Amino acid sequence: MVIDADVAFLAELQPVAEELLEKHLRTTKEWHPHTLVPWSRGRDFEDDYEWSPEESNLPAEVRSALFVNLLTEDNLPYYFRDIERMFGRDGAWGEWVRRWTAEEGRHATVIRDYLTVTRAIDPVALERGRMAQMSGGEVPEPESACDGFVYVTLQELATRISHRNTGAMIEDKVGYDIMRRVAQDENHHFLFYRDAATAALEMDPSQVVRAMERQVIGFAMPGTGIPDFNQHAKAIANAGIYDTINHYDQIIEPIVLKHWRLAELEGLDAEAEQSRERLLTYIGKIGRVADRMRARREKAAAEAAESGELAGV
């Protein structure tokens, strides 16, 4: 059931939802997982089969990313309960929630089929991870529709970045194409939520800014219920697939600061002004952390290049 305080708000936003849904259905292209998977590369698994890293030519950090990305996609359809609770099951909002759920489920199908056929990841560990995450039922629970708009905007963009960067590190063109296809879908999802949040911001900037503070400061990639998530997340960050630099440069700065114009918003109430102040302070800290990380990475790359040149002398 939609939160009582959001009923009128969502009703006023209904025309926006209808327009964004129509745009999504018009601009997305139908695709089928079975046409992307290299089935001819598959073979039966014997009863005594045990996976070995030697079966995969992927670096360990890319396997970590694929493991997390797939289990994230497995779990996203289970957000249905909370997204329906926030937005409702009727009209354009309900139609969008169901469409989004179906598309996220398709992502899990194609990634799992690819990983199974190519034996890129231990299938037993993958299934145990899926069972653990699904059984845990860990999903975000934003407290309002505005919190939901902000969170899913950040989450969909972060997921798109992670999928795209993972694909770029897969030398197999089939794997690259699959991750690019999934990332394209995630971009369409991101645009729907970003534009819904933008419309909400125009209607009630104070409510949305308070939600921004909660969601930006508390943001975590979907996947915290995945076994050994912290270990995998560290490997993913170290590889530059998704880290603080990506988060600041590709999400916080272009969306929160530029698209939503957090620092320039007018007409905020006193509480929202305080939220904005705290959030801008937090964003400034994240930006400085990203700058330090970038400097260290550039220094390490320069030293590695210099070392390679000297070795070739």
CATH code for position 229 = 1.10.620.20
Per residue in 225-271, pLDDT tens? 788 999 999 999 999 999 999 999 999 999 999 999 999 999 999 99
Examine residue 22 and state whether it is found in any structural domain, yes or no: yes
Per residue in 270-309, pLDDT tens? 999 999 999 999 999 999 999 999 999 888 888 777 776 6
Please give the pLDDT value at position 137: 75
Cβ count near 142 (within 10 Å)? 21
| Average pLDDT for 131-152 | 86
User: Average pLDDT over the chain, rounded to whole?
Assistant: 92
Asked if residue 93 lies in contact with residue 19, where contact means CB atoms within 8 angstroms, the answer is no
Q: How confident is the model at residue 109 (pLDDT cuts 50, 70, 90)?
A: very high
Examine residue 312 and state whether it is found in any structural domain, yes or no: no
Please give the pLDDT value at position 310: 58
The CA-CA-CA angle for residues 180, 185, 190, to 5°, reads 115
Q: How confident is the model at residue 35 (pLDDT cuts 50, 70, 90)?
A: very high
Whether the predicted pLDDT of 161 surpasses 80: yes
Examine residue 30 and state whether it is found in any structural domain, yes or no: yes
Examine residue 310 and state whether it is found in any structural domain, yes or no: no
Please give the pLDDT value at position 308: 67
Please give the pLDDT value at position 309: 60
Examine residue 144 and state whether it is found in any structural domain, yes or no: yes
Examine residue 311 and state whether it is found in any structural domain, yes or no: no
Helix and strand numbers (H, E) in the chain are 11, 0
The boundaries of the domain holding residue 26 are 4-43+56-305
Asked if residue 221 lies in contact with residue 242, where contact means CB atoms within 8 angstroms, the answer is yes
Cβ count near 150 (within 10 Å)? 30
The total domain count for the chain is 1
Examine residue 51 and state whether it is found in any structural domain, yes or no: no
Examine residue 154 and state whether it is found in any structural domain, yes or no: yes
Backbone torsion region of residue 174, taken as left when φ is above 0, otherwise alpha when ψ lies between -120 and 50, otherwise beta: alpha
Higher pLDDT, 65 or 301: 65
Q: Nearest Cα to 6, choosing from 256, 153, 210, 200?
A: 200
